[in-house]
Amino acid sequence: MALDRWIALVILLIFAAYGYGAWFTMDGSLPPFMRRNPIWPSTFPKVISILGILTALIVVSGIEQKRPKSGAQAASASVYRTIAGYHLAPAIALLALMVVYAFALRPAGFLLSTVGFLMAGAAILGERRWITMFVVSAIAAGTVWYLIQQVLGIFLRPLPAFMGV
């Protein structure tokens, strides 16, 4: 089986576990007044699990692939690059950056850690216009903070704790 099908199989298993959690474990602790609502907190995870399972099944079954017309094309279509051919360093660096962001979120505050995460992520991916990166990441972080803090009313520490906010 090709690499893309193996990856789709792993994703299928992840979405199956996610769907199991959404369908069978999330709704058990709902208060009685919420059980009559048409949309529950598990509705969106249920939809995501169904769409993820269907997409993974399509890839695993090979429906999305076009069939090659000749024997030479069939031989070249089945050859995949080895794992060494992929650019793994930026991907691993982004994963490490996500972990650092998760640990820095509380002590550094949302705005500082998010701006730093977005700028470092863009730099890892090859962006070198530092002023543009700063402006875009500051606007994005500020907008998300405003929506969460002011619109939704969820407290999100904007600045580091030592600044007294």
User: SS3 of 39, please?
Assistant: coil
6-15 own/partner pairs: CB under 8 Å, 24+ apart: 8/56, 8/59, 8/60, 9/56, 9/60, 11/52, 11/56, 12/52, 12/53, 12/56, 12/57, 12/60, 14/52, 15/48, 15/49, 15/52, 15/53, 15/56
Give the model's pLDDT for residue 143.
95
What's the pLDDT at 140?
96
- Residue 132 pLDDT grade (very low, low, confident, very high; cuts 50, 70, 90): very high
Output the pLDDT for position 78. 47
Higher-confidence position of 109 and 38:
109
The Cα 113–Cα 105 span in angstroms is 6
Which positions ≥6 away from 5 have C-beta within 8 Å?
59, 60, 62
Q: Which of 84-93, 120-129, 144-153 has the lowest mean pLDDT?
A: 84-93
Q: Place 71 in a pLDDT band, splitting at 50, 70 and 90.
A: low
Going through 50-92 in order, the beta strands assigned E by DSSP cover: none
The sign of the CA dihedral 56, 60, 61, 65 is: positive
Across the range 149-156, mean pLDDT stands at: 84
Higher pLDDT, residue 70 or 109 = 109
Least confident of 54-58, 75-79, 107-111, 140-144: 75-79
In the chain, DSSP finds a helix count (H) and a strand count (E) of: 6, 0
Q: Which of 18-27, 49-58, 128-137, 151-160 has the lowest mean pLDDT?
A: 151-160
- On the question of pLDDT at 64 being above 90, the answer is no
> Where does residue 16 rank: exposed (0-12), middle (13-18), buried (19+ CB within 10 A)?
middle
What pLDDT does residue 134 have?
95
Give the percent of the chain with pLDDT over 90.
45
From CA 18, how far away is CA 60, in angstroms rounded? 18
Lowest mean pLDDT among 21-30, 42-51, 65-74: 65-74
